Structure formats: C-alpha cells, structure tokens
Chains A and B, each alone.
Chain A
C-alpha cells in the first residue's frame, strides 16, 4: 500500500514538472540569435500578408511573426487574448472604438517616446491624431486612411444605359434619393440583376447619412445625440429593401454573404464600402473571381450625401504596441515602417488607402486603381467624419444594427423608431461607465 502511494505521488510530481518544463521551452527558443522576433496579431485580410512579407524581407533586424485571427471573430478573440494575457508584442485594432477600453485596461503602450527616439514624425499622420490619442498620449500608428466610397460596375451601367454615379457627383446631384433612384433604374433596366446596390451588415454601413451628418449618437458625456439624419438612414434602408433593390440585411447576415461576393459576381451595380475594397478587387482579379466584367470595368466615386458640403466617414486603421511587450523598440520599428512612407507604398500597392500620402503613394495608387476617376476620388482631399468615436462606440454600433433589424421586420412608425433608438442608446449610456 505504501508503495502504491509513493508511486502515485511520483507520477503526480513528474506530470507537474513536465507541465512547467513545457512552458519554459518557449523561452529557450527565443534566446536564439537572429532578427528580433515580434509577435503581432491581426486579422486575415488578403491584403495584409504581402505587407508583412515586404517588411520582413526589407530588413534583417526585426522579424514579424504574424498571428492570423479570423476576420469575423477578431474583436471577440483579441479581447480574450488580451484579457487572458496572451503573449504578444503588438496587435492591429479592428474596431477602432475599442481603443478606449484597451487603453483603460492598460493594454496599450504610448508611442510618443519611441517616435522621438526613432525620429518618426507623427505630424505626417496628424489628420488622424484625434483618432489615435487619448489624454494627450499617442497610442497607435495608423497605416490605413479612412474613407468610404461608392464602388460601381461600369459594365452593368453600360448594359442598363444609365449614367454612372460619378456623373451625378459632377452635377452635384448625388444624394441618397438619387442613389435609391439609380438602384431602381438598374433593376428596371436589367430585371435579371439581383440587386441595384449593396450595403453590408455593419451598424456603420446602415447609418451612413447619420455619420455624414456628424452626430455622435451618445456624446462623450453620455447624452443621447440623434437627429433626422439617423431616422433617414433607417427610412432609406427600408425603402431599398421593400423595393427589392438591395439584399435584405437579415439574409446577408444569415447567408454570411461577404460584401465582395455580389460585386465580384456582377450581381450588384453599386456597393457602398470602405477604402480597403480595392485590395479585395485586386485579390478578386488575381483569383479569377470577377464574373461578367473585366478589371477596368469597375470604378469608384463619392458616397451619396445629403449634406451641403460633401463628407464621408471612417476611422483609420492602426496598430498598437502591447504594454507588456519586452520588445517595444522592435515592434515600433515595424509599426513606424508600416505607417511611414515605405510602408505606405506597399499598403497602396495592395489596394489600400494609406494614412501617409505622398506623390509616390499616389503614383502607386494610379497603378492599382482601375481608372482616372477612381484615382481622383480615392485621393481627393475631403472631410472625413469619425464614426462612433468614444467609449460607447462599440456598443452603439451594435445597438443601431439591432434596431435596424427590428425596424425592417416591423411596421414601426417613425415616432416609435425614434423612441426606440433613444431608449436603447440611453441604456447603453447607463451600462457603460
């Protein structure tokens, strides 16, 4: 009996030692010579691997070990990784409003000191300074600019015999009513075309008029801030769905239809989406996914807009250095490269709007955008309203999407819709302190 007990204790001891030793293996591996290896988390956008590869092959001081997380689950997964203390040196921020929660939780290291040390001029990305700073500290380096556009399939418009949207832009007629009208004209001229236009499922995709108007939904003091531009957003979407001009929101969600699919397949004349879409079109072209049209048959122009002066919306895409990283300098070198002139050329070459615009970047964009109209509108100076940009932002976006679904599936009146929006936003303001 004593022998058995001793044997059991010995087995337990061996298991414990094995567990501890296994954890130490990683540290042993890191002590090897060579470039400094930094662990960087980001989502699996097709445009990103070439950017990482370009950095790794451009120098031999730092090696970025990219950890890819599914695009659709990135927010929840990065939350889990951060809260769980996963080992990382930096990560890309997908939902920009999460910067508030991450900063509050102490996950992010400010970059001001490192920028001074390495001579990186944060002034070059000063357009986005508000989006990357909290309490005077700069918390990120943006590498992608912010803007949304109306992408359109010229072949479809030609077949339908309808002027392309840039014509209405030039004439100052490109309003939301005109957008609905053009969607309807496309469907009427081409009954076999599934959709005149396409808008995605995100909360931001469905309240574009409100974002262009610049309302905060919940301001920084926790007060609800909405007006008719938000109500109109819901009315426009409902009209588009009721007239069969757009894929229903719930169907898009349930069938997990990615926004690129209908555009690749030539199933929609127009798509309202952000500045990263040319990168998707490059991938679509290279993978042979474009159906019924050639590369040069698509273009882009401004979003429809009801405001007196044109404005678009968007938040830049940026990356952080993890506060617990012991390789902050190496991580900063990568982020500064990605957000600086060298990285901007690679970013542009992969169909993304860089945060850092130079003549070389514009030349690169000219090479990858399909035509002069696209280059003109992609790179023009414009007012870009930030979206949902405070600590309530993440919950606000989700709430707006949920109310949109409820509204679309009901016979809610405008006053009922307004009351519901106010009620739901007030609850968000109360819940998030």
Chain B
C-alpha cells in the first residue's frame, strides 16, 4: 500500500509528463475548434477591427447555397467510394500477405510505400500519368486500341481519378492494420473450422471477419474521417487555389471551406462550413459506435 505522499508524487509526475501533449492538444486542436465555432457566428474576414456578431446568418447562407450542397454531394460520393475501396483492397492484400508466400516481406514494404510518400509528390506524379493527351496511361490504353480516358479533364472522370490516387496512396495503411489484426486471431479456431468441414469461404466469413471486426471497425472510423478531410489531392490535381475540378466535379467540402476562407475572405462563412463538416463527421462516428454492438465481436480471439 502506497503512502499518500508517494501517490501524490507519482500523480504529479504523470501530470508533468502528460502536460506537453495536453498543452499541444489544447493549443492546436481544442482552441482552434472552439474559435472556429465562435467565428462561424461572425462576419470575420481577416481583421478583428471590423468583426461583428451575425447570429446564424452564415448558416442560413450555407444551407441556401447550391455550391455548398454540391460540395456535400461530391464529398459523400468521394467518402463512400474511397472508404470501401481502401478497406476492401487493404483487407484482400492483408489476407494474401498473411499466407506463407515467397517475398511477402518485400511485397508488404512495396504496398506500404505509397503511404509514406508525400501527397504532393504522388499527386504531381499522377498529374503526369493522367495527362489527357500525352500521359503514359492513355498512351498505354491507345496501344491496346482502347479509348483514352479524359481523367482529370472531364467532369465525369475527374472525381474517379482523385479517388484512384487517394485509394492507391492509402490502402497500404489499412493493409498493415488488418495484417496485425489477422495475427491475433487464434489459429485453433481455424483448426476447429477445418474439423467441422468448413470451406475457405466459410472460414473467412465465420472466423476471419468476426475476428477482425474490432480492427475493421477502427479502420472504418479512421478511413471515414480521413476521407471527409481530404483536400490536398483536389488542390494539387485540379488547379490549385482556383481548382475544384471541371464544373466543380471534385469540389469537396474541405476545398470549398478553403476557397471561401482564404480566397474570398469569407472566413466566418468558411468557419460555419467547417462546423457543419465537423458535425457530419461526429454524427457518422456516433452512429457507427451505436451500431458496432451488432457486428463487432471483442471476445472471439
């Protein structure tokens, strides 16, 4: 039994060690979030000298603006597509690389490499690859007598191009997470399944996926949040500060926030949009947490 003095000292030490991290959280996350929320009720445009409280005016403007709804639509399409493909590809490659195959360590490294590359470098590389007339991808397609794809140069294909690049860069991260999850599944469960005559598909559905469900749940949360926040791919690949894709086809909400705030000096309006984005992400995360009880199993391994 520790003496009260010793306990106090240990608590103080713990607080001291946690202080820098907590200070960083408060300074760089909590305060900006609260500031955004407060600024969203003002007409702040870069100078505090002229700032005025405008109530819910920014929110009224947002919800009556077609550009905002288009951004929401594009964002939802992007999120749904990219999350599904990231998790699906990550899961498939994790299953493959969990087996005893030649060179699996090398393959793991290669597939994880895009995750650690700079987004700017990746996007610039794909801009070259996806060049509508001189890009290697279209040249390859034409060599196979296929029609070249306009990629980023057409409203019907621009968002798909961004999704391809985003998924390519990110799925390796989830592959590693799923791989580590697969290691924790008790091999005895597979032996029991073999004894019971389960097929490979049945083992996948009845053992692997339930065993991985906590990891899948975690990956879904992270993938959704990252997808909602995506900005740099749109910015770099669709024209920089005047981007947003052909006919705003890749104009995600994060990009709309950036333009309104940094280009048009409507910082209060942009802050209101960011609050809306925050609430959307929060709502989806809460819904996920609520429904996880029905399919996430923490006691299977």
Binding site for B on A (CB under 8 A): 1-2, 4-5, 8, 72-73, 75-76, 79-80, 82-83, 98, 101, 104-107, 201, 248, 250-251, 253-256, 394-395, 398, 401-402, 405-406, 408-410, 423-424, 427, 430-433
Q: Check if B271 is an interface residue, CB within 8 A of chain A.
A: no
C-alpha gap A137/B97 in the complex (Å): 70
Contacting pair B127 A254 (CB below 8 A) = yes
Contacting pair B9 A1 (CB below 8 A) = yes
C-alpha gap A104/B267 in the complex (Å): 14
B65 contacts across to A, CB distance below 8 A: 427, 431
Most buried by A among B16, B43, B242, B248: B242
C-alpha gap A101/B153 in the complex (Å): 33
B153 contacts across to A, CB distance below 8 A: 248, 250-251, 254-255
Task: For A255, give the chain B residue with the smallest CB separation.
Answer: B131
B133 contacts across to A, CB distance below 8 A: 251
C-alpha gap A73/B242 in the complex (Å): 9
Contacting pair B240 A73 (CB below 8 A) = yes
A interface, by DSSP: helix, strand, loop or mixed? helix
Task: For A427, give the chain B residue with the smallest CB separation.
Answer: B65
Q: Which of B164-172, B204-212, B256-264 contacts A (4 or more CB under 8 A)?
A: B256-264
Contacting pair B263 A76 (CB below 8 A) = yes
Contacting pair A254 B241 (CB below 8 A) = no
Q: Check if B13 is an interface residue, CB within 8 A of chain A.
A: yes
B interface, by DSSP: helix, strand, loop or mixed? helix
C-alpha gap A104/B238 in the complex (Å): 31
A432 contacts across to B, CB distance below 8 A: 264, 266
Asked if A4 meets B13 with Cβ closer than 8 Å, knowing A75-B263, A76-B241, A80-B262, the reply is yes
C-alpha gap A5/B9 in the complex (Å): 9
Contacting pair A106 B49 (CB below 8 A) = yes
C-alpha gap A398/B255 in the complex (Å): 14
Which of B9, B131, B240, B246 lies in contact with A250, CB distance below 8 A?
Answer: B246
C-alpha gap A80/B246 in the complex (Å): 26
Most buried by A among B150, B243, B246, B267: B246
10 tightest A-B contacts by CB? A105-B47, A406-B247, A101-B265, A250-B246, A83-B46, A254-B152, A105-B46, A76-B262, A1-B9, A253-B239
A79 contacts across to B, CB distance below 8 A: 46, 262-263, 265
Q: Check if B180 is an interface residue, CB within 8 A of chain A.
A: no
Min Cβ gap A109→B in Å is 14
C-alpha gap A416/B161 in the complex (Å): 29
Asked if A253 meets B238 with Cβ closer than 8 Å, knowing A80-B262, A398-B264, A423-B66, the reply is yes
C-alpha gap A430/B239 in the complex (Å): 26
C-alpha gap A432/B265 in the complex (Å): 9
Contacting pair A8 B263 (CB below 8 A) = no
What are 10 of the A-B contact pairs (CB < 8 Å)?
A: A8-B16, A76-B258, A76-B262, A105-B50, A254-B246, A255-B153, A401-B242, A406-B247, A431-B65, A433-B43
Contacting pair B61 A201 (CB below 8 A) = no
Quick one: CB contact mask for B44-63 with A, threshold 8 Å, 1 for yes?
01110110000000000100
Min Cβ gap A165→B in Å is 27
A248 contacts across to B, CB distance below 8 A: 153
Asked if A254 meets B263 with Cβ closer than 8 Å, knowing A105-B50, A405-B246, the reply is no
A253 contacts across to B, CB distance below 8 A: 238-239, 242-243, 246
A73 contacts across to B, CB distance below 8 A: 240-241
Min Cβ gap B48→A in Å is 9
Most buried by A among B151, B263, B264: B264
C-alpha gap A248/B155 in the complex (Å): 13
Which of A104, A405, A408 lies in contact with B50, CB distance below 8 A?
Answer: A104
Most buried by A among B13, B127, B154, B262: B262
Contacting pair B127 A409 (CB below 8 A) = no
Seed contacts A80-B262, A83-B267, A398-B242; 15 additional CB < 8 Å A-B pairs: A5-B9, A72-B241, A79-B46, A98-B265, A101-B265, A104-B47, A105-B47, A105-B49, A253-B242, A253-B243, A255-B153, A256-B239, A398-B263, A405-B248, A431-B61
C-alpha gap A423/B64 in the complex (Å): 11
A406 contacts across to B, CB distance below 8 A: 155, 247-248
Asked if A430 meets B61 with Cβ closer than 8 Å, knowing A80-B262, A251-B153, A406-B247, the reply is yes
Quick one: CB contact mask for B63-82 with A, threshold 8 Å, 1 for yes?
01111000000000000000
Min Cβ gap B74→A in Å is 13
A402 contacts across to B, CB distance below 8 A: 244, 247-248
Q: Check if B132 is an interface residue, CB within 8 A of chain A.
A: yes
Min Cβ gap B163→A in Å is 16
Contacting pair A427 B66 (CB below 8 A) = yes
C-alpha gap A256/B236 in the complex (Å): 10
Min Cβ gap A96→B in Å is 14
B242 contacts across to A, CB distance below 8 A: 201, 253, 398, 401
A82 contacts across to B, CB distance below 8 A: 46
Min Cβ gap B209→A in Å is 40
Task: For B265, give the chain A residue with the smallest CB separation.
Answer: A101
Contacting pair A394 B247 (CB below 8 A) = no
C-alpha gap A105/B243 in the complex (Å): 26
C-alpha gap A107/B265 in the complex (Å): 13
Q: Check if B112 is an interface residue, CB within 8 A of chain A.
A: no
Task: For A194, give the chain B residue with the smallest CB separation.
Answer: B133
Min Cβ gap A275→B in Å is 22
C-alpha gap A98/B264 in the complex (Å): 8
C-alpha gap A106/B47 in the complex (Å): 7
Task: For B247, give the chain A residue with the smallest CB separation.
Answer: A406
Q: Check if B93 is an interface residue, CB within 8 A of chain A.
A: no
Q: Check if B174 is an interface residue, CB within 8 A of chain A.
A: no
A395 contacts across to B, CB distance below 8 A: 264
Min Cβ gap A320→B in Å is 14
Asked if A431 meets B269 with Cβ closer than 8 Å, knowing A1-B13, A75-B241, the reply is yes
C-alpha gap A410/B247 in the complex (Å): 9
B45 contacts across to A, CB distance below 8 A: 101, 104-105
Contacting pair B12 A5 (CB below 8 A) = yes
B244 contacts across to A, CB distance below 8 A: 402
Quick one: CB contact mask for B125-141 with A, threshold 8 Å, 1 for yes?
00100111100000000
Min Cβ gap B90→A in Å is 29
Which of B47, B237, B246, B262 lies in contact with A409, CB distance below 8 A?
Answer: B246
Min Cβ gap B120→A in Å is 12
A75 contacts across to B, CB distance below 8 A: 241, 263
Min Cβ gap A257→B in Å is 10
Quick one: CB contact mask for B262-293 with A, threshold 8 Å, 1 for yes?
11111101000000000000000000000000
Which of A2, A107, A254 lies in contact with B47, CB distance below 8 A?
Answer: A107
